[in-house]
Each structure stands twice: as structure tokens, then as C-alpha cells.
Amino acid sequence: MRLGVNVPNFGPGTDPGILRRWALTVEGLGYDLLMVSDHVVITPDVAEQYPAPFYEPFTTLAWLAGATSRITLGTTVLIVPYRHPLLVARMAANLNDLSGGRLVLGVGVGWARQEFEALGVRYDRRGRLTDEHLAAIRAAWADEGDYRSGGVPVWVGGSSDAALRRAVRFGEAWHPLRNTLPWLRETWPRLKTIADEQHRPVPAFAPRILLRITRSPVTSADRRAGEGTIEQVMDDLEQLRLLGAETVVFDPFNEDPDETLHPEAAWEMLAAVASRRDGR
């Protein structure tokens, strides 16, 4: 099972030097995938959780492609309605080509109503727009002579039935974000049912989970996967593997922007997981 990391590309402690250190740390620890998030306009609803500076994902990944050599790069998740689909198709195809085929395009519909308004995109049509844009991106990539996408894999985020249908229709993988293990066990069979109904293959399973290592076990019923002692985290990985996950992405950001001023704490947690994974 491949392991990835969602690297904070936002917040008061983030700058090009820190992003490069994140990338070299994650790659040096042996992780397989480095992903970043997406916002375009830091409206008040966005800034409350993800304050400026917020580095645009395609630009950031292009920078990190040059700083790394092996690790796969991706978005978790690109908010599809924010950009013209032909622009997304072009940028993703070019980044994949320039990085040596290392791109994963994780996508979603978005949630920040004020940001949609600032961009002049209808919030109430974001689901329909996402479907239309993904269809257009796929059509553009089909013309390989123009776009040379090299087969960029698309991971579709979201937890609603509409998101599951979108994952089956457009995705190489379903990419749910920061859920509990019981919810994932309950929802994964629903995705298989939808795939059967649509007579399509079942997408791969590539969840993004929290990473918050604690000294004492977390025993609450709403404990999210990746939260607890190192033993709980490693058991969560095993349970996800048994459930069929081919890739798991850790998200070490615990919702306090000041964490970005002290990335060493996240690096220590990632090192602990890497050490256990390698049997050290």
C-alpha cells in the first residue's frame, strides 16, 4: 500500500523554503505521494481555516517537481469549477509531462460560498459544473497529440451519493477526506453498488486520513482514522489495507494555522509512521 502526505501550502509559516523542506522531508522519509490543497481567493470563509499566504497548487507542484526526483505529486483536492476545464486540462497535462509522469489530479466540488461568489461561479451549480468540466477535461486529454496527458489519474473526492457517482464515472480512484473507519466501511460497499448499477469498474480506494499521534489512546466513538497512538494509527492503516485501499494519504494539519510555523512536529509524526512501516 502506497502512503502519501498532504503538505500545507498555506498559513503564516509557509513560504517557498518551507515548501521545499516539506517536499525533501516527505520524499526522504520514503513516502510515495505529496499532495497540496486548492483555493484561489482567500475570502473570509477560507481565511478562517486556511489563511494567506495560500500557494496555488499547479504553481506549487511545478516548483516542487523541480525540487524532487521520485515522489508522485498531486492535488487534494482541486476545486474543479474554479477554472476553465481546458485550462485545467492543459496545466495538468503539462505538469504531468514536465515532471516525468508524476501527477495525480485529485478533484472536488468545493465548499466556500464566498470564494465562489468572488470568482463569479454559481455555488448552487457546483456539482453539475464539476461533472461538465470533468467530461471536458477527459475529452481534451483524449486528443493526446495536443495535450500529451500521459494518462493523468483522476481521484474524485466527496462523500455524497452524487460524489460516489462522480467517482465511478470519472475517477481512477475514490478519495474521501478525513473520515472515521466505521463510515468508510459502511460507504465503500455503496460505491461498489453504484459501479455495478452503472456497469463500470469500481474505482480504486485512496482515502485521505488525519495524522494526529497522541500519547494516550483515543477511544471516542467519533475517532477519525489516523488519530490516536502510533499503534492505533498503524492499525488503521492495516484496516484500510484490508478494506482495499491502494493508497492512503496522511493529513497532518490539525486545523490550527499556527501549526505551519512549527512543521517539525508533523515531520516527527511522519517519521514515526515511516519507521514503523519499515520495521525499525
Percent of the chain at pLDDT > 90 equals 96
pLDDT at residue 187, as a whole number: 97
Mean pLDDT of all residues in 194-221: 97
pLDDT at residue 278, as a whole number: 78
Rounded Cα distance, 98 and 62, in Å: 8
3-state helix, strand, coil in the chain (%, to 5): 50, 15, 35
Rounded Cα distance, 196 and 208, in Å: 24
Mean pLDDT of all residues in 45-56: 96
Sign of the CA dihedral running 142, 143, 144, 150: negative
Q: Is the pLDDT of residue 279 over 80?
A: no
pLDDT single digits (tens) 109-158: 999 999 999 999 999 999 999 999 999 999 999 986 667 778 999 999 99
pLDDT at residue 199, as a whole number: 97
Alpha carbon separation from 169 to 130, 191, 200, 235 (Å, rounded):
12, 11, 8, 31
Q: Is the pLDDT of residue 100 over 70?
A: yes
pLDDT single digits (tens) 233-250: 999 999 999 999 999 999
Q: Is 261 helix (H, G, I), strand (E, B) or coil?
A: helix
Mean per-residue pLDDT of the chain: 96
Rounded Cα distance, 142 and 89, in Å: 10
